Amino acid sequence: MAKIENEIQYKWAVNRVEELLPTVDENTPLDDPNSIELELLSNMVADYSDKYFSLGEPSLSDVIKLRMFEMDINQKSLSKLLEISPSRVSDYLTGKSEPTLSVARKMSKRLGISPSIVLGV
């Protein structure tokens, strides 16, 4: 299968996908030329986007800060919630240290953070 090699090809493919979208819906047969072209180009655009425009995984610090904002809590409240010292919370927020397994469990359960993010895997 072909792939997009540069940004010019990427922009052309994105424009072509936008042209094809209105012509294909759930009732369009899979062997329809527009449906086939849309499928192929969409996959190529997605592959190129993943390679060159990927944002990557969020850091634990970023996710904790987001949860604090969503829960409207400060570092002191977070330390009470996780049963750790405020200075330890600060260490996690600045990336100076990583949580122990027991703190990681609490973060995952009490803050609703994916274990893979908390554990960095």
Classify 33 as helix, strand or coil: helix
CA-based nearest residue to 97, from 85, 107, 88: 88
Number of H helices, E strands in the chain: 7, 0
Residues 89-121: tens digit of each pLDDT: 999 999 899 899 999 999 999 999 988 888 876
Q: Quick check: is 64 in a domain?
A: yes
Confidence at residue 121, expressed as pLDDT on a 0 to 100 scale: 66
Whether 73 and 39 map to the same domain: the answer is: no
Tokens representing residue 105 in the block: 């469990």
Residues 16-40: tens digit of each pLDDT: 999 999 999 889 998 999 999 999 9
pLDDT at 1 over 60: no
Q: What distance in Å separates the CA atoms of residue 39 and residue 33, rounded to the nearest whole number?
A: 10
Tokens representing residue 42 in the block: 């969409």
pLDDT at 54 over 80: no
Whether 70 and 30 map to the same domain: the answer is: no
State how far the alpha carbon of 30 is from the alpha carbons of 17, 19, 23, 39, in Å.
Answer: 16, 18, 13, 9
Q: Quick check: is 21 in a domain?
A: yes
Whether 94 and 75 map to the same domain: the answer is: yes
Read off the CATH number of the domain in which 70 is found.
1.10.260.40
Q: Quick check: is 104 in a domain?
A: yes
Tokens representing residue 103 in the block: 């703190």
Confidence at residue 16, expressed as pLDDT on a 0 to 100 scale: 94
